[in-house]
């Protein structure tokens, strides 16, 4: 077990730099557990933040870690937890395939996949289909990947973003100007979700008055059903998937009959390759564009307010020097890591970190762990907004599958903080945020804040 250093900066929020008795007990328990029993994909450990101790131990003792079938409700998989190994796997499309479910999903948690295999499929066929997942631009290998990515890439090109910027800034200003002063409110709902919904509606060419339906669908598509969650039953999740795809299909048909525009739907509808896309591929691409456009900005924006409350010296630096905003944005994207992992599948037997990964094995690249690798990043648990190289992070992935909308995410975050600093001298986080119960979307359900006054 590692020694607890009194003034160490831990990966979890602490009071006065000290772990609580509960936090110490969690860390002790994880370090005392048999190494082979560690299951970093347990979603509850993300909600209660215990996953940090798992990754801390794995990076030190077993950076390429195998979780066996009997240790995980997700089935067997490999975890890649250190920076260099993550990049090696992420950029190697010869040995590692993207033709696998994007995330480490629970068996039976994606009704669309179950419909795809049909009612007569055997248990083995169903499980194989679930591991494969819905085909999409994120879960394809070359050359298909390039065709699907190319169909929508123009929507987030530098020229498109330059044209988009004034509209984003105007909408951010309207959101911020409508916030209550001196009253507690939920930052996730009032700011992060609202900005994301407005941007998604623009990217999809969807009516602004119905924008919150898009973020709702995104949440429903990425949630494992359970009591009190945004979908409580598999039937509710299935209905949401069907409704979203029905809407998307209608928009595609409508745009194909119109003159080409710059939104994602129009770009897909007028792509010369669209006629060759299968219904499953269109549905998969739609889901990727929706979830990708929702989670990165939404959870990083909330994470930035939270991080600045945990590290007051960073907040002071930012307010004293607004030129640090781009650096702060990049550091937040690293520190938050809004999507915790991506999945791969071994094309062939492959050695990584001295471990032999067999052909067909699932491999999870844990960006959230690599972003805290002290062999690559100095003081990785700290939030340092003036790092020498702040854009050195894994949150957008590497190689041909690097996040399509990374520049859009950075733009929205930069503009938001430029507008915040013009209006509010402080934003106070009232209590610990409520986190998602998800091993994939590393984000926040609610975070209560208060803004004492305007500038």
> How far is the CA of 382 from the CAs of 314, 318, 372, in angstroms?
10, 15, 9
Count how many domains the chain has.
Answer: 1
**Whose CA is closest to 332, among 269, 394, 383, 373?**
383
Q: Is 28 within the bounds of a domain?
A: yes
What is the distance between the alpha carbons of residues 384 and 372, in angstroms, rounded to a whole number?
A: 13
Q: What is the pLDDT of residue 2?
A: 37
What is the distance between the alpha carbons of residues 206 and 211, in angstroms, rounded to a whole number?
A: 7
Crossing angle between the packed helical segments 21-32 and 51-61, to the nearest 10 degrees? 40
Q: Is 9 within the bounds of a domain?
A: no
**Whose CA is closest to 179, among 434, 453, 435?**
453
What is the distance between the alpha carbons of residues 305 and 321, in angstroms, rounded to a whole number?
A: 17
What is the distance between the alpha carbons of residues 171 and 153, in angstroms, rounded to a whole number?
A: 23
Residue 434: give its domain's CATH number: 1.10.630.10
Q: What is the pLDDT of residue 5?
A: 37
Q: Is 104 within the bounds of a domain?
A: yes
Q: Is 297 within the bounds of a domain?
A: yes
What is the distance between the alpha carbons of residues 128 and 378, in angstroms, rounded to a whole number?
A: 41
Q: Is 11 within the bounds of a domain?
A: no
Length of the chain: 455
Q: Is 3 within the bounds of a domain?
A: no
In sequence order, what are the beta bridge partners of 449? 185, 429
What is the distance between the alpha carbons of residues 48 and 424, in angstroms, rounded to a whole number?
A: 31
The per-residue b/e assignment along 357-371, b for 16 or more CB within 10 angstroms, e otherwise, is: beeebbbbbbbbbbb
Cβ–Cβ contacts within 10 Å for residue 389, how many?
9
Q: Which long-range contacts (CB under 8 A, 24 or more apart) does 427-433 make?
A: 427/187, 427/305, 427/308, 427/309, 427/451, 428/309, 428/452, 429/305, 429/306, 429/309, 430/184, 432/13, 433/188, 433/302, 433/306
Cβ–Cβ contacts within 10 Å for residue 243, how many?
13
DSSP string, 50-99: THHHHHHHHHHH-SEEEE-GGG-TT--EEEE-SHHHHHHHHT-TTTEE--
Structural domain including 378 reads: 21-450
Q: What are 121's two structure tokens? A: 């499929």
Task: Find the angle CA(325)-CA(197)-CA(51) to the nearest 5 degrees.
Answer: 65
Q: What is the pTM of this model?
A: 0.93
> How far is the CA of 264 from the CAs of 105, 278, 285, 435, in angstroms?
26, 17, 10, 30
pLDDT in tens, the chain (455 residues): 333 333 467 898 776 778 889 999 999 999 999 999 999 999 999 999 999 999 999 999 999 999 999 999 889 999 999 999 999 999 999 999 999 988 897 777 777 777 777 788 888 888 888 888 888 888 899 999 999 898 888 888 888 889 889 999 999 999 999 999 999 999 999 999 999 999 999 988 899 999 999 999 999 988 888 898 899 998 899 899 999 999 999 999 999 999 998 888 898 889 898 888 988 888 888 888 898 888 888 999 999 999 999 999 999 999 999 999 999 999 999 999 999 999 999 999 999 999 999 999 999 999 999 999 999 999 999 999 999 999 999 999 988 888 888 998 999 999 999 999 999 999 999 999 999 999 999 999 999 999 999 99
Dump pLDDT digits (tens) for 80-138. 999 999 999 999 999 999 999 888 977 777 777 777 777 888 888 888 888 888 888 88
What is the distance between the alpha carbons of residues 432 and 172, in angstroms, rounded to a whole number?
A: 25
Q: What is the pLDDT of residue 376?
A: 96
Any residues with CB less than 8 A from the CB of 359 and at least 6 apart, and which?
346, 347, 348, 349
Pairing of strands 444-446, 434-435: antiparallel
Q: Is 231 within the bounds of a domain?
A: yes
Task: Find the angle CA(294)-CA(299)-CA(304) to the nearest 5 degrees.
Answer: 140
Q: Is 304 within the bounds of a domain?
A: yes
């Amino acid at each position: 077990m590692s020694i607890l250093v009194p003034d160490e900066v831990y990966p979890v929020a602490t009071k006065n730099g000290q772990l609580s008795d509960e936090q110490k007990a969690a860390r002790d328990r994880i370090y005392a557990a048999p190494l082979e029993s560690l299951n970093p994909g347990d979603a509850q450990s993300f909600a209660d933040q215990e996953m940090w101790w798992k990754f801390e131990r794995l990076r030190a003792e077993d950076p390429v870690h195998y979780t066996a079938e009997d240790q995980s409700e997700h089935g067997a998989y490999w975890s890649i937890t250190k920076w260099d190994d993550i990049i090696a796997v992420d950029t190697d499309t010869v040995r590692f395939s993207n033709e696998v479910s994007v995330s480490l999903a629970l068996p039976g948690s994606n009704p669309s996949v179950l419909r795809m295999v049909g009612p007569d499929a055997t248990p083995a066929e169903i499980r194989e289909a679930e591991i494969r997942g819905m085909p999409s631009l994120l879960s394809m290998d070359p050359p298909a990947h390039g065709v699907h990515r190319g169909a929508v890439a123009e929507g987030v090109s530098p020229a498109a973003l330059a044209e988009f910027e004034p509209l984003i800034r105007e909408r951010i200003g309207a959101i911020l100007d409508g916030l209550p002063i001196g009253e507690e409110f939920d930052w996730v709902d009032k700011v992060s979700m609202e900005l994301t919904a407005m941007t998604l509606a623009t990217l999809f060419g969807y009516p602004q008055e119905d924008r919150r339906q898009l973020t709702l669908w995104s949440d429903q598509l990425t949630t494992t059903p359970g009591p009190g969650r945004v979908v409580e039953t598999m039937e509710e999740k299935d209905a949401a998937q069907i409704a979203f795809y029905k809407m998307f299909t209608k928009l595609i048909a409508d745009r194909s009959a119109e003159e080409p525009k710059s939104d994602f739907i129009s770009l897909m509808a007028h792509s010369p390759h669209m006629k060759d896309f299968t219904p499953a591929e269109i549905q998969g691409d739609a889901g990727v564009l929706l979830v990708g456009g929702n989670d990165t900005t939404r959870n990083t924006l909330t994470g930035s307010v939270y991080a600045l409350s945990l590290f007051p010296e960073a907040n002071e630096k930012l307010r004293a020097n607004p030129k640090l905003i781009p650096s702060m944005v990049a550091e937040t994207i690293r520190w938050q890591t809004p999507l915790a992992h991506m999945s791969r599948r071994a094309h062939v037997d492959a050695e990584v970190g001295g471990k032999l990964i067999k052909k067909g094995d699932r491999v999870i690249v844990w960006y959230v762990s690599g972003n805290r690798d002290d062999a690559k990043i100095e003081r990785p648990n700290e939030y340092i907004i003036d790092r020498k190289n702040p854009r050195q992070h894994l949150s957008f992935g590497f190689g041909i599958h690097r996040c399509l909308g990374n520049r859009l995410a950075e733009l929205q975050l930069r503009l938001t903080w430029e507008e915040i600093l013009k209006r509010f001298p402080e934003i106070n986080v009232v209590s610990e945020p409520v986190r998602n119960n998800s091993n994939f979307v590393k984000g926040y359900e609610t975070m209560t804040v208060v803004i004492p006054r305007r500038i």
